[in-house]
């Protein structure tokens, strides 16, 4: 049987993989593994449950809460909130664990179930495996007063907003900001917190109807945000995804500022304030070489991890670093959050613009984004990518030609017969030519039909 948990919880089509029956069973299993196995003897576990606004979240959250209460867990129903808000509230309430129902930037027919351990931390593989194993066992069936209670968490959003405001180094008075909420979980709290911080706001993509989440708006569809920034003469724009754990930005000229550039801006700001732990930024191997060069020039070290925000988080926790993230806009400020937080990131960017008096374009110019070309080579033996001599020779030849001005990365897909070929160079044409050259070698040498 294949593993149920993926890179970010259990995710699939709502009423396909994610059925009410599965949700209830997962909740009962989590009640044991994250609740009773972790709680003090005799104490009833407590869980926080939240969801993004996609329509299937209603029946999935109902099944999750029924499963938890039936197993003897007290539930705080936090309603529609961003994933980082759920993580914050687990820690703030000192709850035993949390459940977030969301498929992040995916379209409305998808959904997912993500568990958060005590403190609002993502689960490690061992805990996920333990939940899967518990699915095969009979769930707890307490009787009478031993079943759990389900309570509405009435001030959940207000607590989160107050927390975000408390992270700001300065107010945002005088700034005009366009917010794109992806018709998602940030549609209520992001406009509220930016307004409370003093910004003048223009809001788009903040009318969730259950089926329009991520549909043409948000961090994967920036064209509406770019147009709105220009139309309203705003200082900057901020885009969230469906569950608001990521943030991309747009400067006053409508140019996109990606996650790497955001990390560069914030790393320099924290270093200047003497608050960047060990003067180190944590990023994945997919971050642009331009980020590494900019950090070196600023006296900041980079710690590289595998692809995925969970690996960034693991490195940050293990070594005590307080800033990390991904090019896609997952930025983690571990002084304030246990996961990527798009609203928090947007606030910090806006605060930096206000504090410095510089435009976001000027701040982002501290990093030169080198041309980066990614080719997915399909139907190949991904497991042989690193061992094949001809592929290794081709990579070495390209690396020698690029020298210190470029970079090559071959990365097998975790789930498909695909090898991702990424090349960076100072010129777009060179990056494209080198990437095509390497992709051709990979296709020829690792072709599954040939094997």
- Integer-rounded Cα radius of gyration of the chain: 23
User: Is residue 104 annotated as part of the catalytic site, yes or no?
Assistant: yes
- Is the Cβ–Cβ distance between 13 and 54 less than 8 Å? no
The burial of 330, by beta-carbon neighbours within 10 Å (0-12 exposed, 13-18 middle, 19 or more buried), is given as: buried
Q: How far apart, in whole angstroms, are the C-alpha atoms of residue 103 and residue 40?
A: 33
- Short-list 280, 375, 374, CA closest to 320: 280
- Short-list 408, 345, 273, CA closest to 84: 345
For residue 332, the surrounding DSSP H or E stretch is strand 331-333
Strands 323-325 and 331-333: antiparallel
Q: How far is CA 108 from CA 208, 212, 290, in A?
A: 11, 7, 35
Strands 200-204 and 46-51: unpaired
H-helix segments, 33-111: 57-71, 83-93
Q: How far apart, in whole angstroms, are the C-alpha atoms of residue 189 and residue 187?
A: 6
Q: Which two tokens stand for residue 167?
A: 């992270």
> What is the DSSP secondary-structure string of 140-198?
P---GGGS--EEE-TTHHHHHHHHHHTT-SS--TT-EEEEE-TTSTTTTHHHHHHHHTT
Secondary-structure breakdown of the chain: helix, strand, coil percentages, each rounded to the nearest 5: 40, 20, 35
Catalytic entry in 56, 61, 102, 104: 104
Q: How many CA atoms lie within 13 A of 44 on its CB side?
A: 16
- Is the Cβ–Cβ distance between 375 and 440 less than 8 Å? no
Q: Which two tokens stand for residue 416?
A: 């498909």
Q: How far apart, in whole angstroms, are the C-alpha atoms of residue 46 and residue 415?
A: 35
Neighbours of 124 (CB within 10 A): 12
Q: What letter would DSSP give residue 219?
A: T
User: C-alpha dihedral over 105, 101, 337, 120, to 10 degrees?
Assistant: -150
Catalytic residue numbers? 104
């Amino acid at each position: 049987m294949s593993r149920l948990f993926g890179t970010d919880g259990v995710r699939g089509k709502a009423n396909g993989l994610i059925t009410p029956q599965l949700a209830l069973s997962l909740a009962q299993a989590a009640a044991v593994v994250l609740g009773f196995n972790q709680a003090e003897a005799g104490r009833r576990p407590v869980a926080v449950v939240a969801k993004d606004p996609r329509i299937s979240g209603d029946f999935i959250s109902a099944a999750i809460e029924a499963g938890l209460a039936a197993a003897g867990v007290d539930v705080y129903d936090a309603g529609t909130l961003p994933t980082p808000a759920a993580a914050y509230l687990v820690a703030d309430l000192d709850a035993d664990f949390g459940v977030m129902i969301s498929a992040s930037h995916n379209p409305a027919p998808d959904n997912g179930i993500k568990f958060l351990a005590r403190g609002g931390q993502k689960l490690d593989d061992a805990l996920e495996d333990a939940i899967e194993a518990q699915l095969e066992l009979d769930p707890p069936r307490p009787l009478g007063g031993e079943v759990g209670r389900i309570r509405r968490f009435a001030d959940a959003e207000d607590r989160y907003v107050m927390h975000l405001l408390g992270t700001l180094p300065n107010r945002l008075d005088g700034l005009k900001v366009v917010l794109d909420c992806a018709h998602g979980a940030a549609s209520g709290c992001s406009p509220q917190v930016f307004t409370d911080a003093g910004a003048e706001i223009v809001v788009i993509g903040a009318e969730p109807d259950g089926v329009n989440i991520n549909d043409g708006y948000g961090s994967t569809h920036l064209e509406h945000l770019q147009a709105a920034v220009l139309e309203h003469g705003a200082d900057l724009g901020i885009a969230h995804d469906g569950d608001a754990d990521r943030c991309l930005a747009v400067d006053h000229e409508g140019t996109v500022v990606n996650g790497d550039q955001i990390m560069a801006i914030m790393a320099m700001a924290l270093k200047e304030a003497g608050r960047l732990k060990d003067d180190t930024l944590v990023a994945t191997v997919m971050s642009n070489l331009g980020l590494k060069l900019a950090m070196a020039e600023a006296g900041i070290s980079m710690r590289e991890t595998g692809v995925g925000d969970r690996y960034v988080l693991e490195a940050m926790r293990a070594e005590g670093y307080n800033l990390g993230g991904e090019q896609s806009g997952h930025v983690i400020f571990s002084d304030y959050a246990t996961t990527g937080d798009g609203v928090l990131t947007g606030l910090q960017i806006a605060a930096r613009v206000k504090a410095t008096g510089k435009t976001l374009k000027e701040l982002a110019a501290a990093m030169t984004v080198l041309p980066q070309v990614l080719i997915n080579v399909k139907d190949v033996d991904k497991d042989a990518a690193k061992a094949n001599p001809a592929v290794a020779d081709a990579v070495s030849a390209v690396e020698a030609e690029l020298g210190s001005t470029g970079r090559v990365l071959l990365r097998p897909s975790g789930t498909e017969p695909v090898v991702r070929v990424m090349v960076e160079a100072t010129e777009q044409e060179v990056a494209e030519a080198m990437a095509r050259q390497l992709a051709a070698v990979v296709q020829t040498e690792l072709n599954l039909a040939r094997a």
